[in-house]
Copies of this chain bind each other. A is one copy, B any other.
């Protein structure tokens, strides 16, 4: 008994690749490129991607060539000059980001995960949930627009609410703003921010910026004692000025 053992009887295509090319790794690259290209969109270098994914630049080049060779191509790749996502690549990247942020919200809201733990779990699960699962948790959560860190969840069609949040580090002393989002990939930082009472929606005022970009002193909500934030912390927080 060593027959073909067809698993999804197709009417005998010319070739059938057992390992479909679009898998977990591909998703990770597309998401990385999406997140690194920023807004307005710019080319992303192999080295950046390598650093982001903790792999070597050689591996990245290798993969970028495959992604560019797909039909349709997932990236526009110019040797030595980085990549941009193609239409198809962006679509897929947004699906993954949607998955990620819905899962984070779900873990926090339904399964009571602390907000510093949701990222890691979502990072793994985002590749494996079905459309069905996505639809079910979105419904269960009432089709949320933001995840627990304040990041916008792409809609099914890939659209994102227009937002112009700026980094907290851009504020000038005396200015007030509302916390829009906090970076989600460092659990320790999230615990620290939570302890300071800094989370999306909270209003704060930059009372003073210490010299040499050393630290930012902010007053949170109506509390009395101010918090001190390092520069990298202030870069990891986005704020929007309340109507004005």
The 6 closest A-B pairs by CB, nearest first: A111-B136, A7-B54, A128-B128, A124-B128, A5-B54, A1-B47
How many copies of the polypeptide does the oligomer hold? Answer: 2
Cα-based distance from A107 to B124 in the complex (angstroms): 18
B132 touches A117 (CB 8 A): yes
Residues of B within 8 A of A130 (CB): 121, 124
Residues of B within 8 A of A129 (CB): 121, 125
A111 touches B128 (CB 8 A): no
Binding site for B on A (CB under 8 A): 1-2, 5, 7, 47, 50-51, 54-58, 107, 110-113, 117, 121, 124-125, 127-130, 132-133, 136-137, 140
- Of B56, B110, B137, the residue contacting A5 (CB under 8 A) is B56
In the complex, residue of chain B having the shortest beta-carbon distance to the beta carbon of A55:
B5
Residues of B within 8 A of A57 (CB): 1-2
In the complex, residue of chain B having the shortest beta-carbon distance to the beta carbon of A136:
B111
A51 touches B121 (CB 8 A): no
In the complex, residue of chain B having the shortest beta-carbon distance to the beta carbon of A47:
B1
In the complex, residue of chain B having the shortest beta-carbon distance to the beta carbon of A117:
B132
Residues of B within 8 A of A137 (CB): 111
Whole-angstrom distance between the Cβ of A190 and the nearest chain B Cβ: 16
Residues of B within 8 A of A127 (CB): 128
- Of B1, B56, B132, the residue contacting A2 (CB under 8 A) is B56
Chain B CB within 10 Å, residue with most, of A2, A107, A111, A130: A111
